[in-house]
A and B are shown apart, each in its own frame.
Chain A
């Protein structure tokens, strides 16, 4: 009984005043939470689950990125775009078309970007790899000459391709349609 009274007295007299209680509680709580030997619960399943989710999302994003910048898709898209430009264009026009994605694909495939676009008569050929390529024809009887890649101040390709539209020989035109 004596011991109990002694303990109560120690607790009563050593406790902080009422207006300081919240701070004291916080002290006690932080001491308990961050003490050295506390054993926390490691949610290893959750960590694995999150890692797997991140891997899964990365695979999907990579897959979509590869699909959208695949050589075949770009070859088709560029060939049709250039053919439509030729259809709509008029002589003495100079058109610069952005093929920067194609330039990266050609570099990855170790293919010379300067050979990416060729025009044979009224057919556009686009090639971004050694084995492949896509052709599309246009009906406007204009001469696209020899399209060439544009360069920056240092002479490096900047991803643009230059197409000059000029008039075709009339006699050649008649011969083609006969």
Chain B
């Protein structure tokens, strides 16, 4: 109702109103998509877990003393006492029933350098059902984010007699509900 306002001015106002609505919509959508999704820290967690396991198994390039049995070779008790020796606690909070199903897993394989196909000793701990998620590499899969995140490390270590071993460490973290918007 402004005097002197022409038809063109009105069209421009409507155009600007539309632009403002589009910009506002875009900003709200971006903010919602950014802050509406939880922070996914599973990859970092998996890396830290794999590093901690490596630190526990190999100390300054030598196998942990507790891995050696008195009769020679690997000591099976290391696997049984893995949590206390390496100082891990795979229990989780009670949310989503995580206190009943472990949200972590690890598989450690020891190989002679002459045969890197068949492991001479292995340790499996945690919820091994998540291991299959590590082989889901298709990022285009819409469920990709829902899979557990894994971290793989390969290290070499010497035993007491100076024999060299290849150690493959696979560590994974599930905790999907708190890291991905389902």
Chain A residues near B (Cβ < 8 Å): 44-45, 49, 53, 56, 60, 63-64, 67-68, 70, 73, 76-77, 80, 83-84, 87-88, 121-123, 135-137, 139-142, 168, 170, 173-174, 176-177
B28 proximity list for chain A (CB < 8 A): 63
Q: Decide if A173 touches B2 in the complex (CB within 8 Å).
A: no
Smallest CB–CB gap between B26 and chain A, Å?
Answer: 10
Smallest CB–CB gap between B146 and chain A, Å?
Answer: 18
Bound-state CA distance A87–B42 (Å) is 12
Q: How would you classify the secondary structure of chain A's contact residues: helix, strand, loop or mixed? A: helix
How many A-B pairs with Cβ below 8 Å?
Answer: 87
A87 proximity list for chain B (CB < 8 A): 45, 48-49, 52
Smallest CB–CB gap between A19 and chain B, Å?
Answer: 44
Q: Which 8 A-B pairs have the closest CB atoms?
A: A141-B89, A177-B83, A137-B92, A123-B93, A141-B87, A135-B93, A87-B48, A67-B35
Chain B residues near A (Cβ < 8 Å): 2, 5, 9, 13, 16, 20, 23-24, 27-28, 31, 35, 38-39, 41, 44-45, 48-49, 52, 81, 83-84, 87-93, 95, 98, 103-104, 178
Among B24, B41, B91, B92, the residue within 8 A (CB) of A60 is B24
B45 proximity list for chain A (CB < 8 A): 84, 87, 139
Among A45, A76, A139, A177, the residue within 8 A (CB) of B39 is A76
Bound-state CA distance A6–B21 (Å) is 67
Q: Decide if B84 touches A174 in the complex (CB within 8 Å).
A: yes
Sample (23) of A-B pairs whose CB atoms are under 8 Å apart: A44-B2, A45-B13, A63-B28, A63-B31, A64-B31, A76-B38, A83-B41, A84-B45, A84-B48, A87-B48, A123-B92, A135-B93, A135-B95, A137-B92, A137-B93, A137-B98, A137-B103, A139-B89, A139-B104, A140-B87, A141-B83, A173-B84, A174-B83
B2 proximity list for chain A (CB < 8 A): 44-45
Q: Decide if A176 touches B89 in the complex (CB within 8 Å).
A: yes
Nearest residue in A to B21 (C-beta to C-beta)? A56
Q: Decide if B52 touches A177 in the complex (CB within 8 Å).
A: no
Bound-state CA distance A123–B89 (Å) is 11
Given contact pairs A122-B91, A141-B88, A174-B81, a sample of 5 additional A-B residue pairs in the complex whose CB atoms are under 8 Å apart: A76-B39, A84-B44, A135-B93, A139-B45, A173-B89
